Amino acid sequence: FGYTDEEVRMLIAPMASNGEEAMGSMGTDTPLACLSDKPQSLFNYFKQLFAQVTNPPIDPIREDLVMSLTSYIGMERNILSEAPENCHTLKMPHPVLTNRDLEKLRRVSRGDLLASTLPTTFSVLEGETSLKRALDSLCRRASLAIKAGYTLLILSDRGVDEEFAPIPCLLALTAVHNHLIREGTRTGVALIIESGEPREVMHYSLLIGYGASAINPYLAIETIEELAGSGELPNSITPEIAVKNYIKAVDKGLLKIFSKMGISTLQSYRGAQVFEAIGLNRELVDVYFTGTSSQIEGVGLDVLAKEATDKHAFAFRFVSESETELAVGGHYQYRINGERHLLNPLTVSKLQHSVRQSSYETFQEFAELIDEQNERLYTLRGLMELKTIPQPIPLEQVEPASEIVKRFATGAMSFGSISAEAHETLAIAMNRMGARSNTGEGGEDEARFAPLPNGDSRRSAIKQVASGRFGVTAHYLVNAEELQIKVAQGAKPGEGGQLPGHKVDAIIARVRHSIPGVGLISPPPHHDIYSIEDLAQLIYDLKNVNPAARISVKLVAEVGVGTVAAGVSKAHADVVLISGYDGGTGAAPLTSIKHAGIPWELGLAETQQVLVMNDLRSRIRVQVDGKLQTGRDVVIAALLGAEEFGFSTAPLVALGCIMMRKCHLNTCPVGIATQNPELRKKFTGTPEHVINYFFFVAEQVREWMAKLGFRNMNEMIGRVDMIQMRSAIDHWKARGLDFSAMLHNPQVPGRVGRRCVEGQDHGLQQALDHQLLDQAKPALEHGTHISFDMPIRNVHRAVGTMLSGEIARLHGSHGLPEDAIRICFNGSAGQSFGAFLAKGVSLVLEGDANDYAGKGLSGGKIIVFPPKNSTFAPEENILIGNT
């Protein structure tokens, strides 16, 4: 079944010990399943889908009241007919069955409940077509069982031996599920999985998502019982408690995965197929995973059979040689003889030596290692070739590196996930270059807003506005060149940010307006964004508080992200950021790090194509991030359509990160991802290290531009015709990949822009606040108390927000004295009345207000009361909207 020591130690044991999913950090840098040299589980070819902007995710922690794992097993009858037979089902509190539970189901024989067990194994001695024949036979037997009156079909791989290997349980399930759908008999039976293969939360979600009613992970249970019995779990945990903890962890993990798509019950999730495949060919998908997206083709049934037989052969070699150790794994941490990692001890040391010695030659060695590894099938871009021209243009005619670096930004790493020293060093480095650093969602100490005596600035140019809104005040927002709305994060899309309590010290708590020692988990959705229209309102609010700032929206690559990006453009965002699944994180469930989101190459290509085809590309800039490390990465991103480029992991490595992947534990040995004062003393990074890295990348970009015939970056953006897929790929899995959809160049009229050439119209000229600013000048300039009346209508949005931004700019977070500006309105206020209202401003409204009233209140006062001549009871009616 392909178990590894890493899975047992890092995934199963923590679940059995704590009843929680295992946490990790730093993201993933291993090959996709379709590029890996090692036999993979079929589960690894799939990625979770997640909601972005529209139909937002649910908060499984704070909204658990509306979530349920309850399901009913048995024949499904006409739901419109109220009949006693409809109740002849078994109610299940959750989908995970113990071995004893399964035996009860196997023996049930009451009324319409009758179980039949179908073996899901195939002979390894009968050649390449054995798996296909076994699947066909399984489907025939399922049909016969239904005709014989069975309503519970147990698909079991317990018959594994030296001759028979298990059919991947997901493949067995989907073969029967889709066969019965085509036959028209699917609702007459429940499919139950008895398999040794499921062990991670993602495995269970895939099985349920493709139609399973219940799952018995017998080998995972036996493994847990062995761990508890042998003393490898805490002493107080008995085998029975360990199994209960494991099931509890799976249940909680399932709810979290459901919530990413805005789905609240298992009944709704079962059979919903909310996944996409990466690296499975269309023939396989059409038959066994009907309706699932697979954008780049890939392997077929023959490769899946080879992977299954390879794992089977490896397992029975253990039996013949009396070996007891499992394979090391190496997916989550680098291990010799484990899975390959882009960032390994050699590449890390090369990068750090290059920036410390200011050696471009050493950096080129690092880049060659990364690019060669990519070509050895780590990433999709490693399978791409650039069409260089016979006579490169002179390098001195190419745009200088000092201009190229201005397109670079560091990723959203919060103060809290990394130390103050690391966070400020990144900001200083980016500001020196005229590039942008990002606060992340943890706010920023206002002491950093003022320049240092030597002229350096520790202020991050990009201020992030995430779902938790930590530290988001009017003063924070006006101290930005760009305001970024984080809809999703590459390493854990559909989830909120997470900062463990042991990293929340007094300073971080103050900056985030929270309590020291209390863990902070942001909600998955923004509670003021449930549609594109809501997003447009937040963009308008932020533009009002800081008219000079760009507004960007951060999305994560998945199938359909282009449509969402088109909505973002129509909502008047200035920038859309497409993040890849392999981005870093300070803390996230290992399941999310590995199984959510897709490579940025796919998301960026789709975004560019959709924006161009809808003539929206010319008014929005596109940024991309996700394990960008070399000049070649930047060039491919530009050719696919990006104008700006985000880096997170590589700058941290330049500062000294050694990829221990312990960020979430507060034990970073080099003082970067820790708040421990003693460990922070070990930080040795400098702004010069980061600057060296970015200039080295920019120089490599220039060299590639010369080879491709481009004199400036603008010429290169969207020139996908300069990329082709490598020929003669002989890898046993990668040779079936097809990039034609990703490299499609939309045919549009010449007037349609392929890059941003015009700005968005944010409609600020019509804002009522222009009148408020004129009347409030005495208070703003001299501190004079003023009061005035003004009518208001529901077309007046974000009233008081532009005024608050000006107060924060002039007077900082302290604002003005109490009631320095008192404005009395009469009528119906539009959306976001008093958003980010600064201290010293009082808005008094006789009437009512629409949604988002008082959003981000920053010390101001909002007073709303019904009209004096109203006849209704105020306490029994709604005066303001507040999503």
pLDDT(836) > 70:
yes
| Integer Cα distance of 880 and 186 in angstroms | 49
β-bridge pairing 384-386 and 723-725: antiparallel
- Region 171-193: mean pLDDT is 96
DSSP bridge pairs for 596 = 48
Residue 816 clears pLDDT 60, i.e. is over it: yes
Q: Tell me how far apart the alpha carbons of residues 36 and 376 are, in angstroms, rounded to a whole number.
A: 10
The per-residue pLDDT of the chain, averaged, comes to: 94
Which segment of 316-320, 500-504, 637-641 scores lowest on mean pLDDT? 316-320
240 alpha-carbon distance from chain centroid = 35
Q: What are the chain's domains? A: 5-13+42-73+90-321 (3.20.20.70), 345-445+458-491+498-736 (3.20.20.70), 766-876 (2.160.20.60)
With cut-offs at 50, 70 and 90, classify the pLDDT of residue 377: confident
Whole-model pTM: value is 0.95
Residue 309 has pLDDT above 70, yes or no: yes
Which of these ranges, 19-28, 310-319, 624-633, has the smallest mean pLDDT?
Answer: 310-319
Band of the pLDDT at 138, cuts 50, 70, 90?
very high
Banded model confidence at residue 80, pLDDT cuts 50, 70, 90:
confident
Across residues 466-473, what is the average pLDDT? 95
Q: How far apart are the first and last CA of the chain?
A: 48
Q: Residues near 252 by Cβ (< 8 Å), separated by ≥ 6?
A: 19, 20, 21, 60
Burial class (CB in 10 A: 0-12, 13-18, 19+), 61: middle
Confidence of residue 488 (pLDDT cuts 50, 70, 90): very high
The Cα–Cα gap between 841 and 825 comes to 13
pLDDT digits (tens, 9 = 90+) for 332-374: 999 988 899 999 999 999 999 999 999 999 999 999 999 888 7
Average pLDDT over residues 702-725: 97
- Residues contacting 857, CB < 8 A, separation 6+: 834, 836, 837
Which whole number is the average pLDDT over 866-877? 88
Angle between helices 345-356 and 360-375 (to 10 degrees): 160
Tell me: pLDDT of 733 over 80.
yes
Residue type at 612 in one-letter notation: V
> Which residues are CB-neighbours of 60 under 8 A, at least 6 positions away?
67, 252, 255, 256, 258, 259, 524
At residue 83, the pLDDT reads: 79
Q: In this predicted structure, what is the pLDDT of residue 875?
A: 86
Question: pLDDT band at 54, cuts 50/70/90?
Answer: confident
The yes-or-no verdict on residue 318 having pLDDT over 80 is no
- The pLDDT-based confidence of 319 (bands split at 50, 70, 90) is low
CA distance 669 to 663: 10
pLDDT exceeds 60 at position 609:
yes
pLDDT digits (tens, 9 = 90+) for 787-812: 999 999 999 999 999 999 999 999 99
Which is more confidently placed, 545 or 316?
Answer: 545
**What would the pLDDT profile of 671-684 be if each residue is shown by its tens digit?**
999 999 999 999 99
Give the residue-averaged pLDDT of 396-404: 98
Average pLDDT estimate for 380-396:
96
For the beta carbon of residue 609, count every other beta carbon within 10 angstroms. Answer: 21
Phi, then psi, of 251 in degrees rounded to 5: -60, -45
pLDDT of residue 321: 56
Residue 279 to residue 578: CA distance in whole angstroms? 21
The neighbour count for residue 219, using CB atoms within 10 Å, is: 18
- The yes-or-no verdict on residue 194 having pLDDT over 90 is yes
Q: Which of 454, 412, 448 is closest to 432 using CA atoms?
A: 454
Give bridge partners of residue 215 from the DSSP assignment: 96, 193
Block residue for tokens 């902007």: 53
For the chain, the helix, strand and coil percentages under 3-state DSSP, each to the nearest 5: 40, 15, 45
Tens digit of each residue's pLDDT (9 = 90 or more) over 208-253: 999 999 999 999 999 999 999 988 998 789 999 999 999 999 999 9
pLDDT at 163 over 60: yes
Average pLDDT over residues 297-314: 94
Q: Are strands 152-156 and 113-119 parallel, antiparallel or unpaired?
A: parallel
Tokens encoding 669: 């040995």
